[in-house]
Amino acid sequence: MTLPPAGGVTIRNAVVHLHNEQPLLADLFSLPTAADACLVCTNLRMLNGSRPVFVDRTDSTFLFPLGHVRFVEIPSRPVPAADEGRDEGRAERPPAEPEAELEIDEELLRRVREA
């Protein structure tokens, strides 16, 4: 298990997916390694920014056994705060290209009708 560094949190707004639970946002002290038995995090909250029902204080340090963690999403860009728009700060998607018109194969339609 990696102990929290003296400087504080290094990875903000990671999404922790636990078995049979809704995803949670958390701040991690470091990336989990193969030698770790637990995921160490703080500032635990729901995706909408609210406090989970099983947490008394969100600023506490939490230890989740890795056996209960399905996976952890590490954002490549900062995730906006809960009160900001959910799509702000994300990469813009290029506009979708219109689909090409499909040509109707009259011969195929004739054979289907005959069958």
Domain-by-domain residue ranges, the chain? 11-73
- Mean pLDDT computed over every residue of the chain: 80
13 C-beta neighbours (distance < 10 Å), count: 18
Per-residue model confidence as pLDDT tens digits over 45-95 = 999 999 999 999 878 999 999 999 999 999 886 555 554 444 444 456 566
Scored b (16 or more CB within 10 A) or e, 45-54 reads beeeeeeeee
Asked if the model's pLDDT at residue 4 lies above 70, the reply is: no
pLDDT in the model for residue 83 = 44
CATH no. for 11-73: 2.30.30.100
From residue 102, alpha-carbon distances to 78, 98, 99, 105, 112 in Å are 42, 12, 9, 9, 18
Q: Report which DSSP code applies to 28.
A: E
Residues forming a β-bridge with 61: 42
Helix (H), strand (E), coil (C) string for 87-109: CCCCCCCCCCCCCCCCCCCHHHH
pLDDT in the model for residue 19 = 94
Is residue 34 a contact partner of residue 70, using CB atoms and an 8 Å limit? no
pLDDT in the model for residue 36 = 93
